[in-house]
């Protein structure tokens, strides 16, 4: 007799990460690779985060406080939100799993869109919760269709704003109109992982300012603070909702080192500004160069990446593979539900230039 595996786990596919530089360097004999595949910060880690981490390296023999109290206090004063309305976890990915664990049984449906963040699909499937998907409309969330799909089986609705991998944004007005149609017993997860990039848009949702009792807003230090490897994310909702999620959170995350890194990162306004300035310049550079090369893409991106569109699956995959052979790592989006698309995130201006030189060569080869 072998140990049996539940059907919903048998049906899961292991997460296939974007290729790392170390992986491809082994495969291809090139001196330099540029990775614009995982929406990471091209300026590296926020320097104050490194200082913060160093403060606590010699405390690593001590378990972290389950509430991450020092970071909790800092986030609370930074945003002016009561501590009991905040939860801090190993990234948003981990938080999504906890929210689903806390609020759903195996019968409760999780409703979201096709072509959205893969983490919500994986977390829903691994817990064996039924996943309902509504198509995107013009590469953006179709909130009317999602509202129309809510049934008495729906327990959680997930919305990434801006959406990954399309970069599209829903406005505050759209969200408010949507919430009028959502029954109060349905929990809405509003994932603002790219908040810092989008917040300057006057129409952005700014989830933390909302008063809805059935919304949990998620943000992360992974992107604009360059801390994806530290794993720190946080959620804001009512004290009652947060209390429930805390019951299922693993007690000792995030590490003390990551907490202190995040605390200090919040003070690093100059790094954040540099990141945002570079991103703005890069997004403009991308737009100009997409036009020059005749590359189709989803234009309304409010994040740090664009989704490029090709004439079918073969062409998109070949394009991504040929770029890789020349030293440019991009994200082919079949696993996100777009076999005809490839995502590219912003790099340093030097990386951006090299990336477009490579893409130009590849397009000429494919012509
Ligand atoms: C929309 C969205 N949410 C969450 C995450 C994951 O964030 P974290 O690194 O905090 O787990 C990502 C990462 O790509 C994302 O795109």
Dist. CA 164 → ligand 1 center (Å): 8
Q: Give the range among 8-22, 90-104, 321-335, 347-361 with minimum mean pLDDT.
A: 8-22
- Nearest-CA residue for atom 7 of ligand 1: 92
d(CA 131, CA 128): 9
Q: How many angstroms separate the Cα of 336 from the Cα of each of 17, 49, 79, 120, 221?
A: 12, 31, 32, 11, 22
How confident is the model over 2-38, as pLDDT tens digits? 899 999 999 888 777 777 777 787 787 788 899 999 9
For residue 162, how far is its CA from the centre of ligand 1 (angstroms)? 11
**Could you give the percent of the chain with pLDDT greater than 70?**
100
Protein residue with its CA nearest to atom 16 in ligand 1: 164
CA distances 195 to 52, 122, 225, 246, Å, are 23, 22, 11, 23
Residues whose beta carbon lies within 6 Å of some atom of ligand 1: 39, 91-93, 117, 119, 160, 164, 191, 193, 220, 222, 228, 233
The pLDDT value given to residue 315: 97
Residue 212 CA to ligand 1 center (angstroms) comes to 23
The CATH T-level fold of domain 47-268 is: 3.40.640
Q: How much distance in Å is there from the Cα of 1 to the middle of ligand 1?
A: 40
7-44+270-366 and 47-268 agree in CATH topology: no
Per-residue pLDDT, 32:
87
Q: What spacing in Å lies between the alpha carbon of 354 and ligand 1's midpoint?
A: 26
Instruction: Convert the pLDDT of each residue in 213-228 to its tens digit.
Output: 999 999 999 999 999 9
Model confidence pLDDT, tens digit, residues 322-336: 999 999 999 999 989
Spatial separation of the C-alpha atoms in residues 279 and 324, rounded to whole Å: 23
CATH of 7-44+270-366, one of 3.40.140.10, 3.90.1150.10, 3.40.50.1820, 3.30.450.20: 3.90.1150.10
Q: How many residues does the chain have?
A: 367
Residue 225 CA to ligand 1 center (angstroms) comes to 13
Q: What percent of the chain has pLDDT over 90?
A: 90
Enter the pTM of the model: 0.95
Nearest ligand 1 atom, CA 117: 1
Pocket test for ligand 1, best of 116, 164, 226, 306 (most atoms within 8 A of CB): 164
The structure tokens listed for 194 are: 């790219």
Ranges of each domain in the chain:
7-44+270-366, 47-268
Burial 168-205 (b: 16+ CB within 10 A, else e): bbbebebbeebbeebeeebbbbbbbbbbbbbeeeeebb
Give the nearest ligand 1 atom to 223 CA: 9
CA–centroid distance, residue 93 to ligand 1 (Å): 6
Q: How far is CA 367 from the centre of its chain?
A: 34
Judge if the upstream peptide bond of residue 165 is cis by omega within 30 degrees of 0.
yes
Please report the pLDDT score of residue 161 as a whole number: 97
pLDDT in tens, 311-325: 999 999 999 999 999
């Amino acid at each position: 007799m072998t140990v049996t595996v539940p059907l919903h786990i048998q049906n899961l596919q292991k997460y296939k990460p974007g290729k790392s530089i170390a992986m491809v360097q082994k495969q291809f004999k090139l001196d330099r690779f540029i990775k614009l595949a995982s929406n990471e910060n091209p300026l590296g880690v926020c320097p104050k985060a490194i200082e913060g981490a160093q403060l606590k390296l010699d405390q690593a023999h001590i378990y972290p406080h389950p509430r991450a109290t020092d970071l909790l206090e800092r986030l609370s004063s930074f945003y002016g939100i009561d501590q009991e309305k905040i939860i801090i976890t190993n990234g948003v990915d981990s938080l999504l799993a906890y929210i689903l664990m806390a609020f759903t049984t195996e019968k409760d449906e999780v409703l979201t869109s096709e072509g959205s963040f893969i983490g919500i699909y994986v977390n829903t499937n691994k817990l064996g919760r039924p996943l309902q998907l509504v198509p995107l409309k013009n590469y953006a969330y179709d909130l009317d269709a999602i509202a129309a799909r809510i049934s008495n089986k729906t327990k959680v609705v997930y919305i990434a704003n801006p959406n990954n991998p399309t970069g599209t944004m829903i406005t505050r007005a759209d969200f408010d109109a949507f919430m009028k149609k959502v029954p109060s017993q349905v929990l809405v997860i509003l994932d603002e992982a790219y908040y810092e990039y989008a917040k300057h848009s006057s129409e952005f949702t700014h989830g933390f300012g909302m008063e809805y009792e059935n919304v949990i807003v998620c943000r992360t230090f992974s992107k604009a603070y360059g801390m994806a490897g530290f794993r720190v994310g946080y959620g804001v909702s009512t004290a009652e909702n947060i209390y429930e999620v805390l019951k299922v959170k693993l007690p000792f995350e995030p590490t003390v080192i990551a907490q202190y890194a995040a605390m200090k990162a919040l003070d690093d306004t100059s790094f954040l500004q540099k990141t945002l300035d570079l991103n703005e310049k890069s997004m403009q550079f991308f737009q100009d160069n997409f036009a020059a090369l005749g590359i189709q893409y989803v234009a309304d991106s409010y994040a740090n990446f664009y989704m490029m569109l090709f004439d079918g699956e073969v062409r998109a995959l070949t394009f991504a593979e040929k770029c890789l052979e020349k030293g440019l790592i991009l994200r082919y989006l079949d696993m996100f539900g777009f076999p005809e698309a490839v995502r590219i995130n912003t790099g340093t201006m030097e990386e951006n230039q090299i990336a477009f030189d490579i893409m130009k060569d590849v397009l000429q080869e494919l012509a």
